Amino acid sequence: MLSKRGFKLRKWASNRVEVISHLLTEDKELKGSLELQETASVKTLGIRWYPAEDYFTFNFQGLSDTQDKTKRIMLSEIASLYDPVGWISPIIITAKIIIQTLWIGGYSWDSKVS
C-alpha cells in the first residue's frame, strides 16, 4: 500500500531467509543491505536484536566501582533507562524500590549510600 503512493520502505530486518530473498526479488536496490549475517544486529528503541539467532539484548553500563554512590547518581542512572516495551520492567521496578528506600531512610542527595 505504501509503495503504491511512492513510499519506499528501507532498512528491513528479518530472521527468515525466505522474507529477505522475497524482498530482494521485488526491489533490486535493496541488494546487499539485506543479507542475514550471524553477527549483524538491529538496534531500535534502546533494544538490540540479533536476527540470525533471534534474541534481544539490552545494554546498561551501571555504576562504576570507583564512583561514590549517592542518591543523586543512582536516580540519574535509573532515569536513564529507556524501556518502552517493558521487557526490563522487573529490573527498573527493583531499582525504583531502592530509591524509595533511600527517600524513606532520609538520605540527602549527595550523601554516600552503602
Residue 9 has pLDDT above 90, yes or no: no
> What is the mean predicted confidence (pLDDT) over 1-20?
73
User: In percent, how much of the chain has pLDDT > 90?
Assistant: 14
Tell whether pTM > 0.95.
no
pLDDT band at 108 (very low <50, low <70, confident <90, very high): very high
**Per-residue pLDDT reduced to its tens digit, 90-105:** 988 998 999 999 999 9
- 77 in the same domain as 43: no
- 11 in the same domain as 34: yes
Distance between CA atoms of 15 and 23, rounded to whole angstroms? Answer: 13
- 66 in the same domain as 45: no
- 35 in the same domain as 77: no
- 47 in the same domain as 7: yes
**Per-residue pLDDT reduced to its tens digit, 64-88:** 666 788 898 888 888 888 888 888 8
- 19 in the same domain as 51: yes
- 85 in the same domain as 37: no
Contact 100, 92 (CB under 8 A): no
Residue 56: how many CB atoms within 10 A of its CB? 12
